[in-house]
Structure 1
Amino acid sequence: MKTKFTFILLLFSLFGMANDSKNEELNQLKDKISILQKKVDKLETIDNANDIVEEYRALNDIYSYGFGILLALFGIVFPLIIYLVQIRPSLDTIKETKSIIKKIDDNFEESFAEHLKKSKNKLIDQAIENYLDSASTNISSSYAILDMYKSEGFTELQVVRLLKILRNKDNDKNRLIFIASILTFQEDSNIEEYFVTLIRNDPSNHLCIWGAIYFANYNKSKHIHLISLIVLNGYSLVGMLASLSSSSKDFALELLNCETLVNNVEKKVIFDWCNSGYKHFSERIGIDKVETTLLWKRYIENNKV
């Protein structure tokens, strides 16, 4: 009996040991499963994180592209659209407006200038008409008009009509002098021809001095001998040189080198000029220039004798 009991206890012990061993194996298995579960969870977490990162990168790329597009739109496209739609048409309109205004201004100035020219010529024509009419009572106003416009020049027809007045010897002397004087302000072939003919035919005429001034004004050196004729026919050498030098100093010097004058002028005329007009003239022209002229040399030669 005792042996049976002992056998039974042994069986229970073995069974208990077997249970303990099995329990230990189960616990170890559970631990392994737990570790594997943690690893699986970790791996899943990493995969999720990678997905999130990839998704974030994709979103970031989209955002970057979108932001670049917006920059391009606001920096280039929109300003270009505004320029094409609003600014450029406005600039074109401004340019067109300026062009129109300039054209209007030019046309206005041209029209106004043409109007003034017509008005001026009308006044001059009437003034000349008054001078041609010896019975006219408007000579004073006509004088003022012609004197006002003398430096602007006259038309060819007006010059012809003014010369007609000069050729009329019945006109008042003062009127003739005035007309001759205003014609010296304009270079014209008709005027030049008139003075050349006048001096050749009548070098003592009181209007010849205006011919000399006309020649000096426009440097008509080819007519210097005609001016000599004026002096040789009684006009003061001092007065002539003063008038010529007011227009051209070089032209006045040419007269002192004119052989027609130097060879034919009276000694008294030379001495009078050297004693009264030389000092003033040489101060204006220059002593060195005056004392190299033919007239001065003749004065020195005559003074030696």
Structure 2
Amino acid sequence: MPDSDLYEELKKLRRGRGVDRRDLGRYIGPEIRRRCRLAAGEKEIRIRPAVVAMLADLTAGLAPDLQRAAQLAFGLDRDFRLATLADRESRLADLQRVSVRTARRRMNDALAAMALAGDDAPEPAEGPAAGSGWRVSSLRALFRLDTGTPELYEMRTVTATREIDEITIRIGLPEAPAGVGPPEVDVLFGARIRAVEHRDGGNSQKVVLELPERMFPGDEHELWLRVVLPPGQPTWSHYAIVPLDPCESGMVRVRFGAEPPKEVWLIDEVPYPDLGERPDGRQVLEPSALGEVVREFHGLREGYGYGVAWTGLSVSSGHVER
């Protein structure tokens, strides 16, 4: 077995509920904290995504059976978030049709391989310059489908993680037919558009926003973005917040108007690649008398979607990704 601090901390982390703990920060040691670049007193909403991302990196090179063993051992699979490591060992034994003893050995082998991979990995980047320099702590979105073309309003509260004077927001859309112009982007308050870059071969944009004053780590700032889609622009039949960084809270309101779709359902912690799916067991939502659906979310995870999906809509449907 590896003789390292990382091995011992990973061994402790997989006990109990693994990463599915409310107080995960109490169960990670200094080596994991260093590798995840987590400061002392870091908020829980920042800790979990960082630890999950680190574990995903450590398991990426494992053989499929060991990778699956690691996912269950640490509680990474949302379908198998069981209360104890022993419960997850039994579930792995059932899934791989082996004895519990063999399942336990595979989890131990996966743990050892992860520790070795971590010891061989490059040192994490130091210094505050890494990353975008900011994160969204709250996002409240209104997506209107009762207008001439779809309109999106996003009110964001951003938190600086290093010294910054601008932020960059990406607007993603399906490729448009020839002759369809770009979306109209405007900032209603809180920033000024410094530059707009269009992606070649598509209709997506990268919008650089100039802040009214320099922000320092921990500073918060609110801004309101408006996006109007041009006629003929294809869209998706859902709107979802997909955080690129942990997000403390989000709210999605979709206004369908007088003719709502045949079915509307909730998107709640759905992996980004699955946003276009119509899953079995979906939670169906009923639009209000105004043709609106609204839902609030808390503790949003990186790479997962939170919002509303629909089918059978008689007008152009879609969403603008964050």
User: In which range does the TM-score fall when normalised by the shorter chain?
Assistant: under 0.3
Q: What TM-score comes out, normalization by structure 2 length?
A: 0.21
Higher normalized strand content (fraction of residues): 2
Larger RCO (CA within 8 A; separation ≥ 6): 2
Higher gyration radius (CA) = 1
Higher normalized helix content (fraction of residues): 1
